[in-house]
Structure 1
Amino acid sequence: MSFGFLGIQFGFALQNANVSRIFETLGADQEALPILWLAAPVTGLLVQPIIGYYSDRTWHAKWGRRRPFFAIGAILATIALFLMPNSTALWMAVLMLWLMDASINITMEPFRAFVGDMLPNEQRTSGFAMQSFFIGLGAVVASALPYIFTNWFGISNTAGEGMIPDSVKWSFYAGGFAYITAVMWTVFNTEEYPPDDLAKLKEENAKRGIFEGLKESFMGIFEMPKTMVQLAFVQFFSWFALFAMWIYTTSAVTSHVYQTTDTTSALYNEGADWVGICFAIYNGVAALAAFLLPELAKKTNRRVTHLVALCLGGIGLLSVYYISDPNYLLVSMIGVGIAWASILSVPYAILSSTLPSDRMGYFMGVFNFFIVIPQIVAAGILGFILKSFFGNIPIYALIIGGVSMILAGVLTLFVKDNEAEAQAV
């Protein structure tokens, strides 16, 4: 049921570790990076609630409710992964990022609702933790691919000005193959439960036009349960921090630790590859932590678990400022990995217990507003903040992210959760 997330994370991990590198190689400056990354949050804002809404109202006797969306998204995302590293101009890379993100969102959003559909409440924390495991496992391999192709297979890690190295190209080709293979495995090897009242669903769909569906998709933000509203603040500062990390880690590490900004140099590309290894480490830690977090929740509760995890992640980001030896970055990534595992599971476990089963996909899509909105805000202000107050030095973006993540942890304490349910998972 969760195996498809292995493939999805190949796409996300390659994007997170390499898109800034591709943009800089094609001539983007650091101030422009957040705006160029807008594709990620904007496509999520537009696509996820719509896909969630319509996947709730889809039923096919053979393909079920969520699986048609898994398949369509996987095909489109694979195409984008093959085309992205062959971009010859910045505008082409940006266009491919839009296609890639929209496609990944088509696949990913129904996967969140899939767990809610298939598992009873007492198993959902474990179900989302299993998703976190496959996310971590996929991201470990995908993030390390440029390093692996360079150091294990001898594929070139440098290229001329404006050219993307072959090691990055082969990483995206491998990622595209893994994406479609893992997602289609889930499509062909799982069965879904039909809606409780299939006749009623068909009748409602016949009455509801496309415009009404789109309108209702975006009006859900005004119908959120109280717990979702409280979690929205936690999500905002968590994902603001993550977006700052994904955009600026390559620039921060290459300039602050490796002391270079020359994208054609061997030293820059060595540092960029090491960022992939750092991302592999934090995702590997997340895969392991995914099984430990439910145990911590049993001994404390879900709110305390999330608080501890986010604070460790914030400390990890802050510590990068004090590092000059690249090997110590791996230690920083341990805290980030624990936070990432919790971000991917605990909020969804808390939320799913408050949602009606027939609107699970819809509200999961609405909930993702508070993943994409902070990313849009970050894209709009991070470049300005760095230029105006920090001399365009990218390491300060990671410091801002660390503070934001710790704040998210503190806000978790104000979320209403059923402690009895938390002890039962």
Structure 2
Amino acid sequence: MQKKQLSFWQIWNMSFGFLGIQFGFALQNANTSRIFETLGADVEDIPILWIAAPVTGLIIQPIIGYMSDRTWTKLGRRKPYFLVGAILSSIALFIMPNSPSLWVAAGTLWLMDASINISMEPFRAFVGDNLPERQRTLGFAMQSFFIGIGAVAGSLLPYIFTNYIGLSNTAPEGIIPPSVKWSFYVGGIVFLLAVLWTVFSSKEYSPEELAAFEAAEKLDEAATDGRIEEANRKKSIKKQQVYGIGMIILGGIITYLIYSNNLTKELYILFVGLVIFGMLFLLAAILRNQQIKNGFTIIVTDLLNMPKTMKQLAWVQFFSWFALFSMWIYTTQAVTGHVFGETDTTTEAYNDAADWVTVMFTVYNGVAAAVAFLLPVLARRTSNKVTHLLALSFGGVGLISIYFLGDKVGLLLSMVGVGIAWASILSIPYAMLSGSLPASKMGYYMGVFNFFIVIPQIVAATILGFLVKELFNNEPVYALIVGGCAMILAGFLTLGVSTNRKININE
């Protein structure tokens, strides 16, 4: 029994919800730093305020993936999570621009990012569930297309409201401008409607059908020699214990050095987090030694027992998303301060420059949508690895070039390279990964893969704040240069990724 090949419009419908998800995500990315700064945040504190987003993703996505693998309702398997996440995200989008204080805005970002993650994570597994392997590249490309379109509209809204509707882009100190507020209101409505379209226009395979698709793989798993499986399990537990102890020791030593040398407080998040991760590894090892298997042990253990392709792609994702997060955090400050020389958030010049950042983000997302279906063509003529290398190289050069530019048109050109990289980041790694994942664990493996999107964002939020303050003299544009170099490095690391199907799971 094989999955049916879906038509173009069926793939269109099942991907349409990403239009709304990215609409909200784009509003968050392009305007959150501006909202924080308007409510009184210092530039060196902005990364720590952003930390809510990646931390939330680190916790939420694996859990949602694990749960959605085991959920069956009249509405479907993944679709209940699409819907709940969309409702919560829409509420958060209405609250965010009305935050009366900085701490309320930071808390709302936490709620908003958690809700977006609830909707977004199952969409990746949705492709693996519904499409045969030969159509998955098209499925991920379709998602990239809607991500680009949604992000274009979301990023451009404040500019449109200011220049074509007539809403003001300035406000008294501590108040979010009307153009930004109405952009978030529209975003909340679009988010919900787009996800509802996918929920009611797409079908999911029944448990019986998916069981039939997976029957051959389960037979292969059942044929595994029990003694070898048990030996591998014990070896895996020992490895987990060693990793856990190592992370606790390393994190503890560096945390002490941070404390004793009175270094910037953001560094605590990274290295105290390493200690906590080590403790989780040890706890999972203890439970597995007692023959206890549950969602917690599976999620933690899969960090060690990932397919080879997934481990190699982890480094590609790490440096790619480190670069993206540096862009999302610091582009507004780099453009307003370095390019246009404005730092007063109450002036019209500052807000005009900040509005231009939304146009820049519109361009890179528009380019991503435009090239989404060209990347699979290039990959067929060369390879996924070469295609990703070229795309990330364009993106890295685009980020670095912002330092040397002094006009609006040049800034838009820099975003063309970023857009090409963004389209590839959203599709090529997933196309390379999907063939190495067991179908029965698609949801939580996609969730675990999100670790390598989230962890670099946590690293960026902690390390970049330190670098900008201590080494770059509070000049955020240098953070974009670091990000550009990281993106180029990610491209070259892609060349070492193995694309053969090898699944190794030792529970």
Q: TM-score, normalised by structure 1?
A: 0.94
SS in 2 for 1:397: helix
Structure showing greater relative contact order (alpha-carbon pairs closer than 8 Å, 6 or more residues apart): 1
SS in 1 for 2:174: coil
Name 2:454's counterpart in structure 1: 372
2:481 aligns with one of 369, 376, 399:
399
Distance 1:268 1:50 in 2: 41
Distance 2:303 2:63 in 1: 13
2:97 counterpart of 1:15: no
SS in 1 for 2:294: helix
Identity of aligned residues (%): 69
2:126 counterpart of 1:44: no
2:43 aligns with one of 27, 30, 36:
30
2:68 counterpart of 1:55: yes
Name 1:70's counterpart in structure 2: 82
2:93 counterpart of 1:81: yes
CA-CA distance at 1:182 after TM superposition: 0.1
Name 1:336's counterpart in structure 2: 418
Distance 2:488 2:209 in 1: 44
Q: Which runs of 4+ in 1 moved over 3 A?
A: 196-201
Distance 1:192 1:214 in 2: 27
1:122 aligns with one of 134, 145, 169:
134
- Once the two structures are superposed, the pairs formed by residues 158-307 of structure 1 within 5 Å of their partners are 158-196=170-208, 212-307=294-389
Read off the aligned partner of 1:175 and give its amino acid letter: G
Call closer, same or farther: CA 1:323–1:198 in 2, change over 3 Å: closer
Distance 1:410 1:375 in 2: 20
2:19 counterpart of 1:6: yes
Q: Any idea what the Cα deviations from partners look like across 1:334-374, whole Å, max 9, x if unmatched?
A: 00000000000000001001111111111000000000000
8 Å contact kept, 2:436–2:500: no
2:471 aligns with one of 375, 382, 389:
389
2:409 aligns with one of 327, 331, 349:
327
Name 2:164's counterpart in structure 1: 152
8 Å contact kept, 1:41–1:372: yes
8 Å contact kept, 1:38–1:379: yes
Distance 2:158 2:341 in 1: 21
2:151 counterpart of 1:139: yes
Read off the aligned partner of 2:433 and give its amino acid letter: L
Distance 1:393 1:199 in 2: 55
SS in 1 for 2:40: coil
Root mean square deviation, CA, Å: 1.6
8 Å contact kept, 1:49–1:218: no
Distance 2:293 2:326 in 1: 35
Distance 1:255 1:297 in 2: 39
8 Å contact kept, 2:395–2:417: yes
Q: Mark the runs of 5 or more structure 1 residues left unpaired by the alignment.
A: 202-209, 420-425
8 Å contact kept, 1:257–1:326: no
Q: Any idea what the Cα deviations from partners look like across 1:1-37, whole Å, max 9, x if unmatched?
A: 0000000001110011000000000000111111100
CA-CA distance at 1:197 after TM superposition: 7.0
Read off the aligned partner of 2:473 and give its amino acid letter: G
8 Å contact kept, 2:388–2:494: yes
8 Å contact kept, 2:27–2:155: yes
My pick for the range that moved more, 387-396 or 240-249, is 387-396
CA-CA distance at 1:216 after TM superposition: 2.1
Distance 1:196 1:343 in 2: 34
Q: How many residue pairs align between the two structures?
A: 410
Q: Any idea what the Cα deviations from partners look like across 1:221-267, whole Å, max 9, x if unmatched?
A: 12200000000000000000000000000000000111100000001
